[in-house]
Structure 1
Amino acid sequence: MHFTSPTRGIMTIHEMTENIRDYIQEDPHARYKLVIGTDSHTNRQGTVYVTALIIHRGGKGARLFYRKLRTKPMMDLRYRIYRETELSLEAVRLLNQNGINKLLLDSPVEIHADIGNNGDTKKLIQEIVGWITSIGYIVRIKPYSFGASSAADRFTN
């Protein structure tokens, strides 16, 4: 699995983890937050899922990485939202397997879901929020889910 850094290009999960580790070691006393969100766009050619990972240093910037996945067109909104959530949780799992959880022991992990109280996704809020919180992560929905609705959305073209 590969991720892309807008400034450093394509990276393996191991290279990305090392980059995050270096970023944290630059200022080990700062407060950090890991934000992960996935967004998707569908047209006749297919569906593009983008998972964004943001390591935020409180008040002092952030680093962004993203992964793009293309599939056949998926018109079913419920399925797409579930797949977006699954991809975000998969990214956290991969990061944890590469030691991020040890680096960020006291730092929150937020999963940003591209759902909100307006529109067709409002009927999915209880299910998606319940799923993410049952695993132990903080969940944010629109308008507070910038990881999905802004960062990931930016790369879905």
Structure 2
Amino acid sequence: MNESFTFYNVSEKQMSFQTVIERIKGFMLKDPRSEYVLSIGSDSHVHQNETKFITAIHLHRIGKGAWGCLKTYSVKRPIVSVREKISMETALSQEVAYSFTTKYLVDLTDVLIPFADEGADLLFEIHLDIGRKGITKELIQEMTGRIEAMGVEAKIKPESYTAFSYANRYTK
């Protein structure tokens, strides 16, 4: 991943991807017997002179809280095509997810392996801001196919909370 990318959340404003990995590991080490869902999702909002994209990394400790962070990306023009916007959101999520699948997912899983018999688990998903209702339904097969080609599970609305809820809050 391009190390010039910086992530942020309400507690920290400038996190490198390596720092994000350290925060995720630290969160998991506090309760390594839990089940976790690590998800990546992006959302966008068209403003007058730009389109703002937010990509979110969300680690959900099932039933016991979550940790997350965000990355902002802007295109200096309004993107009016729904296909172009959703395609860009998908690509931004794939870019972040690729860094996990190639280097860090095994390290994160290693934190939980000693506790697998006690329920520890880590699921990895990409959440897409598309669903079976509305104009995005025609993009489901294409976008989920891109994610599944990476060997990652794709989630769509209403299960894609990282994209349509967490990332969405910060696009305005």
**TM-score band w.r.t. shorter chain:** over 0.9
Given candidates 12, 16, 38, the residue that maps to 2:16 is 12
Distance between the aligned counterparts of 1:131 and 1:141, measured in 2? 13
SS in 2 for 1:108: strand
Query: 2:32 is aligned with what amino acid?
Result: P
Deviation at 1:98, TM superposition (A): 5.1
- TM-superposition CA deviations, 1:72-128 (whole Å, max 9, x none): 221111011111011101111223455233213652111110011111111101111
Distance between the aligned counterparts of 1:12 and 1:131, measured in 2? 26
2:64 pairs with 1:49: no
2:104 pairs with 1:75: no
Distance between the aligned counterparts of 2:92 and 2:135, measured in 1? 21
Q: Show the counterpart of 1:123.
A: 138
Deviation at 1:153, TM superposition (A): 0.3
Distance between the aligned counterparts of 2:31 and 2:49, measured in 1? 44
Q: Show the counterpart of 1:25.
A: 29
Greater shift after overlay, 105-114 or 55-64? 105-114
Distance between the aligned counterparts of 1:99 and 1:23, measured in 2? 15
Deviation at 1:34, TM superposition (A): 0.3
Q: Show the counterpart of 2:129.
A: 114
Consecutive unaligned residues in structure 2, runs of 5 or more: 111-120
Distance between the aligned counterparts of 1:104 and 1:74, measured in 2? 38
Query: 1:89 is aligned with what amino acid?
Result: Q
Given candidates 129, 151, 162, the residue that maps to 1:136 is 151
Consecutive unaligned residues in structure 1, runs of 5 or more: none
Distance between the aligned counterparts of 1:123 and 1:68, measured in 2? 27
Highest Rg: 1 or 2? 2
Distance between the aligned counterparts of 2:92 and 2:105, measured in 1? 17
**CA distance 1:64–1:7, change in 2 (3 Å):** same
Distance between the aligned counterparts of 2:99 and 2:13, measured in 1? 19
> TM-score normalized by structure 2?
0.85
Deviation at 1:43, TM superposition (A): 2.4
> RMSD across aligned C-alpha pairs, in angstroms?
1.5
Distance between the aligned counterparts of 1:101 and 1:37, measured in 2? 20
> TM-score normalized by structure 1?
0.93
- TM-superposition CA deviations, 1:117-154 (whole Å, max 9, x none): 11111110111111111211111111111110000000
Q: Show the counterpart of 1:95.
A: 100
**Higher relative strand content:** 1
